[in-house]
Amino acid sequence: MHNEQKVTEHIYWIGGNDFVSTRFENLIPISRGISYNSYFIDDEKTAVMDTVDSVIRDVFMDNVSHLLQGRKLDYIIINHMEPDHSGSLLALAEAYPEAKIVATPQAQKMIDQYFHISLRDRFITSDEKLEIELGSHRLHFLKAPMVHWPEVTFTYEESEKVLFCADAFGTFGVLNGSVFADDVDYDGEYLPSCRKYYANIVARYGAQVLMALKKAEKLDIRYLCSLHGPVFRRPEDIGKMMSLYRKWASWEPEERSVSIFFASPYGNTAMAAQILAGKLAAEGVKNLKLVDLCSSSITEAFPEVLRRSHMVLAAVTMNMGLNPVMNAFLDLCKEMDVQNRTISIIGNSSWAPNVSGKLMMEKAGALKKCTILGDAVHISSSPADDDTLEKLAKLIAGHIMTEKKA
């Protein structure tokens, strides 16, 4: 039951699709599934680049066996030890006991922790001085700590110019036939999920991502092979992904526009958000996004922070505090180190003081390098037929248009 595909003349994709799991890390909804990628290098000596989640272990092991055709496996290269990539490591190591395991010291410690079986006599410690010759293929190793775990390594194969980049440039979503990004509608099918993946998995570690990019951008890369999602092989696609990652890691917005995040128990705060969006559109702001925090996971909402330059937060006072969904969303913004955004506030209350506006101002004000635009707008129960939201729309639109001209 093998299902491998060629990436280059001598390198194969040997991963598989997970149609079963409904949440990634049992947290992030993945309605379109996910792929777990592993790669096989076929040369005088053979190597497997990372393994896969246990949910697709059988097809992975069959792929390895089919490509080896009775030969021995020489190396198991570990770029990332998270269980969705090391879940089949022990099975592979036991099936091929002669294979050396190439891993950083941190990864070696994690192998001990996960499996409680000593494999240390098989370890080769990877660092940036190590080179491994397989025949015509030569492997180099680049440290990429905290992209997004401390043991992460990128592996560069110099003869065919392949960068195996761990979770970097990965995306949610299964592979639909071809493993190559240029064989599918990547922007329509995968890019939103790539943004979602980065936002929820990697965004906290922007500084470390930039350090890894600095190393990667010095290489001649003709194939970019992530552990999730399609393989990039066109220079323009590789350049685009590098540019996007640099933008995201720097917290530079993709576009000058507004994401309006609202938490509305009865629809009145949602109506205020809709009125504001309409008035912003009338002022010429394009590509707006209304995000209902109550109707989906905040992990679905968070990528919209990454995308746009301006945020509007609209929520009600509940139990003399902030609506808990908005509270959790802002806590996630803080945890992920959101930066360089311009934020406006709409608070709503019926019988209590405008606590929600005050608390959102405090939490938004604590975000690094973020600017609060204007005073918090207060709505009493439902939006009044006045110019309050129109004034806010003009303030935000004017700020966006001024920055666009600059």
Residues 222 and 300 in one domain: no
User: Are residues 275 and 227 part of one domain?
Assistant: no
Residues 84 and 203 in one domain: yes
Which of 211, 231, 249 lies at the terminal end of a domain, its last residue? 249
What pLDDT does residue 405 have? Answer: 59
Q: Give yes or no: residues 119 and 215 share one domain.
A: yes
Residue 403 has pLDDT above 70, yes or no: no
What local confidence, expressed as pLDDT, does residue 296 receive? 86
Confidence of residue 2 (pLDDT cuts 50, 70, 90): confident
* Whether residue 160 sits in one domain with residue 52: yes
Q: Which of 249, 269, 295 is the last residue of a domain?
A: 249
My answer on whether 233 and 362 are in the same domain is no
- Give the model's pLDDT for residue 181: 98
Query: Do 185 and 290 reside in the same domain of the chain?
Result: no
Q: Would you state the pLDDT for residue 406?
A: 53
Query: What is the per-residue pLDDT for 246?
Result: 97
Residues 268 and 325 in one domain: yes
Confidence of residue 43 (pLDDT cuts 50, 70, 90): very high
Same domain, 265 and 400: yes
- List Cα–Cα distances, 128 to 79, 81, 155, in angstroms: 13, 18, 10
The CATH number of whichever domain residue 269 belongs to comes to 3.40.50.360
CATH number at residue 179: 3.60.15.10
**268 and 232 within one domain:** no
pTM exceeds 0.85, yes or no: yes
Considering the domain architecture, whether residues 210 and 285 belong to the same structural domain is answered as no
**pLDDT at residue number 354:** 78
Does one domain contain both 81 and 211? yes
- The proportion of the chain whose per-residue pLDDT surpasses 70, expressed as a percent, equals 99
For residue 353, give its domain range: 257-405
Last residue of a domain, one of 201, 218, 249: 249
pLDDT tens per residue across span 101-121: 999 999 999 999 999 999 999
Number of domains in the chain: 2
